[in-house]
């Protein structure tokens, strides 16, 4: 699967993924009104979670249409759907399906992690097939999922098995983009190295179990906000593809990003969420207005792709 992501990045000349983290604060009013009208004609006409979920679906659909020729992938963040309960997860599922229809690769930002048969259930839910009634069916059907390493190999191996069986991939959290990521990840161990380096080494090791060309289907999440750490991790994990969140809204700029890539300009994909999907709320793109939110997102995606290209 990682070879497919790399091919799509090269085809579009854009190592950029658009994060679909919709928040009701920036879903235009009109979409909520349209959603309310649609839901009013169903048996659950006044269900507010259904209205919110439907508005998010409308929002995502327009964003996907606006950016699908510019970028290779989208990354829906499961929390933003889970907050609207079962209807929200229906929108998560519809969003994935629609993005795939539009030729996009889907990275499910689920940050799941558990042990043994439980991790296997998550892996099957997101990347694989589940056996029911003598058949095996796809469930959420992302191409990649993000995974939390805190429980060690028991939590990761079931994902790798499913990746190998179904040609899918994962990105393991190594050094996350948030301000407090150092609390445990940067703690120095007895040999003087921080915890995130140990995790990075394990990711390289796990990666050997699922190579796909020059890179592994087992990738790493390394925050764009930590270029120094990324430099070290890039050396430590030469065949590991990096998903780098934190560009834009979280403060990282293109100049910080070159070290996430290998010398051949491959090896990483940079995420922006609010910076693109809520672009119309920023001064730079305010001329589009709420009704032009998708055009604003497209303009912001064009600018971001240009910015990242310039850094490589």
Q: List active site positions.
A: 111
Among all chains, which residue has been given the structure tokens 């055009």?
295
The encoded tokens of residue 165 equal 């069986």
Sign of CA dihedral 278, 34, 110, 13: negative
Q: Which is nearer to its own copies, 122 or 288 (CB)?
A: 122
Q: Which is nearer to its own copies, 141 or 307 (CB)?
A: 141
Residues 182-211 that bind its own copies (CB under 8 A): 182-185, 187-190, 192, 195, 198-199, 202
Among all chains, which residue has been given the structure tokens 């609010």?
274
The encoded tokens of residue 168 equal 């899918």
Least spacing, CB of residue 82 vs its own copies, in Å: 5
- Gap between the Cα atoms of 222 and 200, Å rounded: 10
Q: Does the footprint of its own copies cover residue 281 (CB under 8 A)? A: no
- Other C-beta atoms lying within 10 Å of the C-beta of residue 247: 28
Q: Pick the closest to residue 231 from 259, 270, 192, 263 (CA basis).
A: 259
Each residue 17-56 as x (binds its own copies by CB under 8 A) or -, in order, gives ----x-xx-------x---x-----------xx-xx----
In three-state secondary structure terms, 144 is: strand
Residues 141-180 that bind its own copies (CB under 8 A): 148-155, 173, 176-180
Scanning 4-12, 111-119, 281-289, 300-308 for contacts with its own copies by CB under 8 A, the matching segment is: 111-119
CA 51 remoteness from chain centre:
25
Q: Which is nearer to its own copies, 50 or 299 (CB)?
A: 50
C-alpha distances out from residue 129 to 91, 159, 162, 165, 180, Å: 20, 12, 9, 10, 36
The encoded tokens of residue 159 equal 């994902």
Scanning 10-18, 80-88, 231-239, 264-272 for contacts with its own copies by CB under 8 A, the matching segment is: 80-88
Q: Which is nearer to its own copies, 12 or 193 (CB)?
A: 193
User: What is the binding site for its own copies (CB under 8 A)?
Assistant: 21, 23-24, 32, 36, 48-49, 51-52, 77, 79-80, 82-86, 88-90, 93, 111-119, 121-122, 124-125, 130-133, 135, 137, 139-140, 148-155, 173, 176-185, 187-190, 192, 195, 198-199, 202
């Amino acid at each position: 699967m990682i070879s497919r992501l790399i091919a799509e990045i090269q085809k579009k000349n854009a190592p950029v993924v658009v994060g679909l983290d919709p928040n009701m604060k920036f879903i235009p009013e009109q979409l909520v009104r349209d959603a309310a009208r649609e839901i009013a004609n169903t048996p659950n006409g006044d269900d507010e979670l259904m209205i919110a979920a439907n508005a998010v679906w409308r929002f995502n659909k327009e964003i996907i249409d606006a950016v699908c020729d510019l970028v290779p992938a989208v990354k829906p963040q499961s929390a933003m759907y889970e907050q609207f309960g079962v209807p929200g997860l229906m929108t998560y599922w519809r969003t994935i399906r629609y993005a795939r229809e539009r030729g996009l690769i889907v990275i499910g930002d689920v940050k799941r992690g558990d042990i043994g048969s439980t991790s296997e259930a998550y892996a099957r839910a997101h990347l694989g097939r589940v056996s029911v009634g003598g058949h095996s069916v796809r469930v959420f059907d992302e191409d990649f999922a993000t995974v939390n390493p805190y429980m060690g190999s028991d939590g990761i191996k079931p994902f790798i098995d499913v990746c190998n069986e179904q040609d899918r991939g994962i990105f393991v959290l190594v050094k996350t983009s948030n301000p407090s990521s150092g609390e445990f990840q940067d703690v120095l161990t007895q040999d003087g190295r921080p915890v995130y380096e140990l995790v990075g080494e394990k990711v390289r090791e796990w990666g050997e179990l699922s190579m796909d060309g020059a890179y592994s289907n087992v990738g790493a999440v390394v925050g764009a906000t930590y270029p120094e750490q990324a430099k070290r991790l890039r050396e430590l994990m030469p065949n590991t593809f990096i998903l780098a969140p934190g560009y834009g809204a979280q403060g990282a700029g293109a100049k910080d990003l070159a070290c996430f890539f290998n010398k051949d300009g491959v090896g990483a994909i940079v995420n922006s969420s609010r910076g693109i999907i809520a672009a119309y709320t920023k001064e730079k793109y305010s001329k589009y207005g709420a009704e032009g939110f998708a055009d604003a997102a497209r303009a912001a995606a064009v600018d971001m792709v240009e910015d990242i290209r310039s850094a490589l």
